[in-house]
Amino acid sequence: MRPQKITISEVGPRDGLQIERRLLPAEQKIALIDRLSATGLTRIEVSAFVHPKVVPQMADAEAVFAGIMRRPGVRYAGLVMNARGAERAVAASVDDIKTGIAVSDSFNELNVRMTTEQGMRALGEIAAVAKGTRSRIVGGIATAFGCPYEGPVPIEQVHRLFAQLAGFGAPVIYLADTTGMANPASITRTIESLRARWPNQPIGLHLHNTRGLGLANALAGLELGVVDFESSIGGLGGCPFAPRAVGNICTEDFVHMAHEMGIGTGVDLDALLRVAAFTQEAVGRPLPGMVMKAGKANERHDKAAPRMKVD
């Protein structure tokens, strides 16, 4: 069941940077995205078309999209939460409109100032804007494995949101462990439940490492044959509306794990590690990614060399 090859959607420039206190200029974001494009990644989430007062880090979405060097074979995505955002995304020639809704009313109201029911209506408006354009809808279901405000979420509600996104023809629907509530058993349970009803709809995973289970949850997905994952360079990230937010699973760590397991990604890990170092310097703080600190497992060391602790 474990796949031979997976596809990684890099969300660092959007989900990763949105919570950073240091506001990166558009030129630096463009440089990051262009570097990511050169690693072999084929999906990159560039920015979000949201109100700048809510997420100041994403205020330059149009400028960033206008400035990046688009590589053939790479799809460039933008997050959209309402029809106005969709209009901006279409005007910016976004390849993939990333949109979705939280299962939890409480989280959705904090995140986008809408109930889940209102959010579902907004999804319909977004799909209407995108219809007939070059931009396709890529779905996401936030708090799919639990909510820090409401606790466990009803699987029936996950099914309801999944059905709506599948109805829009989303090529993949990502289940998001937005606040790190998932564990390998709940990953398995939820995916198997959805596949029983929608056996032909591709399911992806968007995972955070909030409680140290990020790669364990990714492994659970791999064992189920999931081939679509979202991750963030250096382990950047964390939702501004999640308590004690911690970043997404780290792209280079996940790529390293996949390669060590014999799973292809199409990504040049050495190039990715150089981008991680660039990102760490850009944000001005140590990032949680481990492979850029410890090195790859297949590296060999001089036994006479001094040992160093990895912090």
Contact, 93 vs 134, CB < 8 A? yes
Structural domain includes residue 307: no
CA dist 97 and 291 (Å) reads 31
What pLDDT does 100 receive?
85
pLDDT in tens, 40-89: 999 999 999 998 888 899 999 999 999 999 999 999 999 999 999 999 99
Q: Specify the CATH number for the domain of residue 27.
A: 3.20.20.70
Q: Output the pLDDT for position 243.
A: 65
* E-state strands within 144-220: 173-176, 203-206
Count: domains in the chain: 1
Give the pLDDT score at 305: 80
Per-residue pLDDT of the chain (311 residues; tens, 9 = 90+): 899 999 999 999 999 999 888 899 999 999 999 999 999 999 999 999 998 888 899 999 999 999 999 999 999 999 999 999 999 999 999 999 999 899 988 888 887 888 888 988 999 999 999 999 999 999 999 999 999 899 999 999 999 999 999 999 999 999 999 889 999 999 999 999 999 999 999 999 999 998 999 999 999 999 999 999 999 999 998 766 666 667 899 999 999 999 999 999 999 999 999 999 999 999 999 999 999 999 999 988 888 888 777 77
Task: Give domain status of residue 303, yes or no.
Answer: no
Closest CA to 161 of 112, 207, 104, 110: 104
What domain range is 265 assigned to? 7-294
Cβ neighbourhood burial of 231 (10 Å; 0-12, 13-18, 19+): buried
Q: How far is CA 305 from CA 270, 279, 298, 299, in A?
A: 23, 29, 17, 14
In a domain, 158, yes or no: yes
In a domain, 155, yes or no: yes
Show which residues are catalytic: 239
In a domain, 300, yes or no: no
The Cα 127–Cα 144 span in angstroms is 21
- Is 105 a domain residue? yes
> What is the rounded distance in angstroms from the CA atom of residue 232 to the CA atom of residue 146?
21
Q: Is residue 121 included in any domain, yes or no?
A: yes
On whether residue 203 sits in a domain, the answer given is yes
